[in-house]
Amino acid sequence: MKFHLGKRNTPRHLHSHQPSGNVSQVVALVDERYLKWLAAQHASAPLQLQRHNLQPVLVDLLRQSTPDAHLLRAYVFSDQQVLDLCDDVVVRSVPQHSIDGGLGLVRSLGLELNQLAQHGGAGLVLILSDDERLIPYIDEAQWRGLKVALVSDEGSLDMPKLMNEDPSWARLLLQADRRLALGASAWEALTVPGAVLQASRSAASQQPAQPSERDGETAEGYFSNALPSDDWLEQVRQVIQSWWSEETPDARLDLQEEMQNSQGVPPETDRHLLLRVRRELARTLSFQEKKAMRELIRATVLAPAQELPVES
């Protein structure tokens, strides 16, 4: 690893004589798997990502937060074949997640970030990803004078909650210079076929708005501390058991070995089951429900392993 997160004798601001570029020039680096997973949490039907709306959504996000900024282009890192022709969107092909666990995506996105930092392609980079392995690349780019903003949804910005439920994602968000959240109109544009983005006013022209009753109910449910009911647990347990019965023996063994050596759930498994459970319930899950779901996953996966004799 050529990037160092340890001691650095010279403060970052002393390197400001080598800025990456005018901060008004912005480039977006998009982990498409992350974008799809996050968008699925806000979709009311099976997700069909509207890639043609990605650029307008990011432009509108910048208009709200940095009115003078100009989005040059977005680089989308995808492990799927993408044939959509979208202006100012460049697709970078990466290996499928099932092959390398996303390492190829991390390296490709990290290399693009460092190229921008070294050659002055932009002064601000928007990153859409939750992969903690990007931290060394972000740190190196920041050291070279590049500003980095991480894009997520509003629910992920409750840091105490997120640190408890998904500490690796929280650590990544803490590394950024800024954190930007996509709102309801953006998710509608990204998930609903034929939807047209309702552009927001710039931050400078906006007046403080009262949250809608629906927004309040959504936030209250999302951050609720209420424990899931027995009926909820049984419904989710059935979804998990159905998934587990579909896995091949080799896949089961791999997951058992991985979870025996960790305390959480592998990100790929976590995302897949979050989506299945969300579709079953027809709504997003609260933090407490996500925690309970992950406990059920671990109980299901590790139950056979726990019955095996322990080798001396």
Residues 111-128 have pLDDT tens digits of 999 999 988 878 899 999
What is the tens place of the pLDDT at every residue in 158-215?
888 888 888 888 899 999 999 998 888 888 888 887 776 765 444 434 444 444 443 4
What is the tens place of the pLDDT at every residue in 234-247?
999 999 999 998 88
User: In this structure, what token pair is assigned to residue 166?
Assistant: 């998904």
Q: 111 φ, ψ to 5°?
A: -65, -45
User: In this structure, what token pair is assigned to residue 211?
Assistant: 């949250």
Query: Structural domain boundaries of the chain?
Result: 19-199, 230-303
Q: Give residue 198's pLDDT.
A: 65
Q: Give residue 133's pLDDT.
A: 92
What is the CATH number that goes with domain 19-199? Answer: 3.40.50.1010
User: In this structure, what token pair is assigned to residue 47?
Assistant: 């997700």
From the CB of residue 227, how many other CB atoms can be counted at a distance below 10 Å?
A: 13
HSE at residue 57, side-chain half, CA atoms within 13 A, is 32
Q: Give residue 9's pLDDT.
A: 42
Q: Give residue 14's pLDDT.
A: 37
Q: Contact at 8 Å (CB) between 34 and 128? A: yes
- Predicted model pTM: 0.61
Residues of the chain with pLDDT under 50: 1-21, 200-224, 305-312
